Amino acid sequence: MERTAYRLADIAARFGGQVVGDADTKVQQIGTLEKATSGQIAFLANAKYRHQLDNSKASAVILSRADSEATELPRIVCDNPYSYFAKLSAFLNPLPECVPGIHSSAVIGKGAKISPQAHIGPQVTVADGAIIGAGSVVMAGCSIGEGATLGENTRLYPNVTVYHGCIVGSHVIVHSGVVIGADGFGIAMDEGKWQKIPQIGRVVVGDHVEIGANTTIDRGALDDTVIEEGVKLDNQIQVAHNVHIGAHTAIAGCVGIAGSATIGKYCRIGGSAGILGHLQIADHVEIASFTLISKSITEPGSYAGIYPFSKNDEWRNNAVHLRHLGDLVKRVKALEKEMESLKGEKI
Amino acid sequence: MERTAYRLADIAARFGGQVVGDADTKVQQIGTLEKATSGQIAFLANAKYRHQLDNSKASAVILSRADSEATELPRIVCDNPYSYFAKLSAFLNPLPECVPGIHSSAVIGKGAKISPQAHIGPQVTVADGAIIGAGSVVMAGCSIGEGATLGENTRLYPNVTVYHGCIVGSHVIVHSGVVIGADGFGIAMDEGKWQKIPQIGRVVVGDHVEIGANTTIDRGALDDTVIEEGVKLDNQIQVAHNVHIGAHTAIAGCVGIAGSATIGKYCRIGGSAGILGHLQIADHVEIASFTLISKSITEPGSYAGIYPFSKNDEWRNNAVHLRHLGDLVKRVKALEKEMESLKGEKI
Amino acid sequence: MERTAYRLADIAARFGGQVVGDADTKVQQIGTLEKATSGQIAFLANAKYRHQLDNSKASAVILSRADSEATELPRIVCDNPYSYFAKLSAFLNPLPECVPGIHSSAVIGKGAKISPQAHIGPQVTVADGAIIGAGSVVMAGCSIGEGATLGENTRLYPNVTVYHGCIVGSHVIVHSGVVIGADGFGIAMDEGKWQKIPQIGRVVVGDHVEIGANTTIDRGALDDTVIEEGVKLDNQIQVAHNVHIGAHTAIAGCVGIAGSATIGKYCRIGGSAGILGHLQIADHVEIASFTLISKSITEPGSYAGIYPFSKNDEWRNNAVHLRHLGDLVKRVKALEKEMESLKGEKI
């Protein structure tokens, strides 16, 4: 693919910032300071990497005002180099265009309404009554269940499964292997056997959501599971039935969220963290990786609960005492009493 | 779909319980106390939600004897409202019927035996010699390996993979993205390279098992991996080779079970827990979320090992001392000795 | 399938070791000591199972020199029975041969170069410009993205997804549900909304790598994500963008590796462990299951950080004090001071 090159002056005209050095310098792609080649523009967003400016072969650099004189390369100086880079990269690397049409190998059910502006790839199955909006792309091997709905300009990478009746909004990106709308884990013990509880709610995914590879979002037991607009989910996240995730919350890989948990807006949850069922998490809460949240959080802020690692034998020598920590506390309390009593005697 | 409505009197005749109020009240679906609408029956299984009775728009409610007078709505009073609800919901929401037939886009191998009462959906591949029983439904994009067997009335949602030779029982539900029978992680180091150990066992899944989305169950190295009848597995569980899970055990999402672990019957394992390889877990063991079981458990009971979370800076201030807990114990022991000695001198 | 039987003498001629007992004994398959039947050869690699020799029905056994007289069964005595077993099993159980050809239901894009010696199964999609080498097997339902490359003698089990532009080497095994090359989790906050950062790097997988079921490996943000030769990944591992995993490292199931982490060669990482972003892990590092690595490791060795489990009420009684561990340390320090002062007075 032939790439278009843009002058720094044109870029600054579009995205703001101030050009220092040759404003006619042309760039066509983004690169890292370390590996960028001619024709590429790099960025410096973290002072830790400032030394990489010295040997960078990039044609230009995006920098903060504080770093504006840290290189002699042609550069764009701006308030937030990381966000500038993100926007410029999105401009230089748009998603591939939607080529409307239905591949001859796709199987389309009765009453399905597929926009003539949508793209349905090879080996796709669209079940009866499903609806797919204009500009949406459903890639190879996806399965769209009965009566499910995809909005406009939504993209499903290959081998995504959307169960019956679920709703996926517009401008949503769903990566391969994602399963939307499988049954929640609802069982009731009855005379020594588990009775399955039908899961008759749906999954409702808002606009501008992105869902990473192999993430699973279960349908609600009775009411719906809801992912609000702008939520960003990384890979291999498990979202149980009736969870509600507030707008613009970002969740890293391998997180597990148990049933009926409610997570606020603008939260950030680290990798492999967990949230127990029926909890409420306030807006603007940050949860560290590997932390299990075992009761509701009502205050914004940053929370953690991680066992610190060490060399194996040190860990072993320390961890063994955890099983007697309550005793240790009692022993210290006893010592304190004895100490008080000894000191008392002296008076 | 037109739903059938049932009189409370008819429901009680079928499932037991006592009708209080208008026994001619008709309901056609289950709802939550909070969101049920006319024609729906709600249930109260947890005293915490009793206040929701006041404003519920449900046409009727399922209640325990203790709560029988907590509302004026028509109601069914019974011993176990949760289990009653489960059974009534299963009655009102049966799985879709199996429509026998093989979709024209499916690819069926030589010698495969597919019951004329089974349903094979679009884009399915059934390899040579596989067997699929009556009433079983294999949805879009599934792949059934050579010589694999599915029993009767078993349902595979779209994009499930069953490897060669594996056995799945009857009345089993397998959700999308599940992989049954991939190679176990068997490698031996030999002169600086990993030698792969062929995995020649199978996976054998009993009757009435349910397997959640994107769960993986590896085939055995030599003998089989076994999931006994009635086991319920949530999403994204990893079951390694030669694991044996006892009947009616229920496992929540994201649990990892390492090779050759044996888990008893009627166990309950919380989300993101782990069990190390070659361990034995007794029957009726409960394991908390996020807990790693690192040695065998011989007694029924409830087990846990979770780092308690707190505000990030509190966590940091406390966790730093874990790396010196052994030292702290020694310091307390030294203090105790000195204290003894001081007290001795006084005598 | 008719199996070929081999004399112990022939096996020893091929793989070394010394035959004790009847060298004409024929075996055709491997079995466990416990379950092997006639015609099978078992092995003893762990003294813990020596008692199983007594009742084994195996026709022959592989043993270490130390155990050479522990049975009267015909046997092969060697230095490393486990590795011997691995090699013999690989010989007796070769991967199925590649049957060249493209299934009529597969969809092949423009300009794709598929070796006439490759096998493309049913319902596979190979996008424009993809390259698939000789001897490679792409099983049912796989999707190979635009311009992606598979080397020679590589095997993709059903329902694998390889995104555009990614490179998979030769002699690689990829299990079902694996996703190679989905977008890394790159977002930048901009005026209350997450801006997506295009992920324009690739995934590059070296030769002789094995990737377990439902594992995900994200493409790089700008540069590539790299899995070096001989790496062995178990199921449900999450490898984030720009991670670099050194040759011959083995990683157990459910591990999460955050963005731009670099892992050395010959490392071994236990199940459900985690590695935070941008860390460096030296060669020959072992990490225990369930351990979060939160800073770089520069020395080879064995590392752990696991909360020890116990009965639920014991755990609760002990864990509650973790939130006050810093205070406890202060209390001990105060006692030590007072003790010093008391002892001082006595002199």
- Report ipTM (2 d.p.): 0.96
- The subunits that touch chain B, with at least 3 C-beta pairs less than 8 Å apart, are A, C
- C164-180 per-position pLDDT tens digit: 999 999 999 999 999 99
Q: What is the mean pLDDT of residues B102-109?
A: 98
In this prediction, residue C344 carries a pLDDT of: 78
In this prediction, residue B13 carries a pLDDT of: 97
3-state secondary structure of A344: helix
Q: Is A232 in Cβ contact with C194 (below 8 Å)?
A: yes
Q: Is C347 on the interface with B (CB under 8 A)?
A: no
- For the record, the structure tokens of A112 come out as 């399905």
Listed in sequence order, the residues at least 6 apart from A111 whose beta carbon sits closer than 8 Å to its beta carbon are A128, A129
Chain C hits for A309, CB-CB cut-off 8 Å, are: 287, 291-294, 303-305
How confident is the prediction for chain A on average, in pLDDT? 96
Residues of C assigned a catalytic role: 241
Residue C111, min C-alpha distance to chain B (Å): 24
Q: How far apart are CA B187 and CA A253, in angstroms?
A: 27
Select the residue of A190, A325, A342 nearest B83 (Cβ to Cβ).
Answer: A190
Q: Is C157 in Cβ contact with B159 (below 8 Å)?
A: no
Select the residue of A127, A274, A304 nearest B290 (Cβ to Cβ).
Answer: A274
Chain A hits for B178, CB-CB cut-off 8 Å, are: none
In this prediction, residue A90 carries a pLDDT of: 95
- C234-254 per-position pLDDT tens digit: 999 999 999 999 999 999 999
Chain B hits for A198, CB-CB cut-off 8 Å, are: 89-90, 92-93
Listed in sequence order, the residues at least 6 apart from C92 whose beta carbon sits closer than 8 Å to its beta carbon are B198, C3, C6, C28, C29, C30
Interface of C with A in 90-119 (CB under 8 A): 105, 107
In this prediction, residue A346 carries a pLDDT of: 62
Select which of A119, A171, A175, A241 is catalytic.
A241
Residue C183, min C-alpha distance to chain B (Å): 19
Listed in sequence order, the residues at least 6 apart from B71 whose beta carbon sits closer than 8 Å to its beta carbon are B53, B54, B56, B61, B63
Q: Does B140 or B45 have the greater pLDDT score?
A: B140
Residue C125, min C-alpha distance to chain A (Å): 7
pLDDT band, very low/low/confident/very high, at A123 (cuts 50, 70, 90): very high
Say if CB C150 and CB C168 are below 8 A apart: yes
In this prediction, residue A88 carries a pLDDT of: 97
The DSSP secondary-structure symbol of C297 reads: B
Q: Is A256 on the interface with C (CB under 8 A)?
A: no
Residue C2 has pLDDT above 90, yes or no: no
How confident is the prediction for chain C on average, in pLDDT? 96
Residue C345 has pLDDT above 80, yes or no: no
- A169-213 per-position pLDDT tens digit: 999 999 999 999 999 999 999 999 999 999 999 999 999 999 999
- For the record, the structure tokens of C121 come out as 């199964």
Say if CB A59 and CB A7 are below 8 A apart: no
Chain C hits for A316, CB-CB cut-off 8 Å, are: 304
In this prediction, residue C88 carries a pLDDT of: 96
Q: Is B326 on the interface with C (CB under 8 A)?
A: no
Q: Is C216 in Cβ contact with A212 (below 8 Å)?
A: yes
Q: How far apart are CA C246 and CA C227, in angstroms?
A: 7
Helix boundaries (H) for B177-302: none
- For the record, the structure tokens of B25 come out as 């009240």
Q: What is the mean pLDDT of residues C3-16?
A: 96
Select the residue of C161, C218, C254 nearest A159 (Cβ to Cβ).
Answer: C161
Indicate the burial class of C317 (C-beta count within 10 angstroms; 0-12, 13-18, 19 or more). Answer: middle
- For the record, the structure tokens of C176 come out as 């079902």
C128, C318, C328: which to substitute to probe chain A, counting the most A Cβ within 10 Å?
Answer: C318
In this prediction, residue C347 carries a pLDDT of: 53
Q: Is C314 in Cβ contact with A30 (below 8 Å)?
A: no
Select the residue of C141, C196, C240 nearest A210 (Cβ to Cβ).
Answer: C196
- C21-34 per-position pLDDT tens digit: 999 999 999 999 99
Long-range contacts of C30-33 (CB under 8 A, 24+ apart): C30/B200, C30/B222, C30/C85, C30/C88, C30/C89, C30/C92, C30/C93, C31/B222, C31/C58, C32/B222, C32/B223, C33/C58, C33/C61
In this prediction, residue B185 carries a pLDDT of: 98
- B293-303 per-position pLDDT tens digit: 999 999 999 99
pLDDT band, very low/low/confident/very high, at A5 (cuts 50, 70, 90): very high
**Residues in chain B, total:** 347
- The subunits that touch chain C, with at least 3 C-beta pairs less than 8 Å apart, are A, B
- A59-103 per-position pLDDT tens digit: 999 999 999 999 999 999 999 999 999 999 999 999 899 999 999
Q: Is B313 on the interface with C (CB under 8 A)?
A: no
In this prediction, residue C1 carries a pLDDT of: 55
* Percent share of chain A, pLDDT over 70: 99
In this prediction, residue B347 carries a pLDDT of: 53
With CA atoms as reference, report the closest residue to A79 among C197, C278, C188: C188
In this prediction, residue B211 carries a pLDDT of: 98
In this prediction, residue A126 carries a pLDDT of: 98
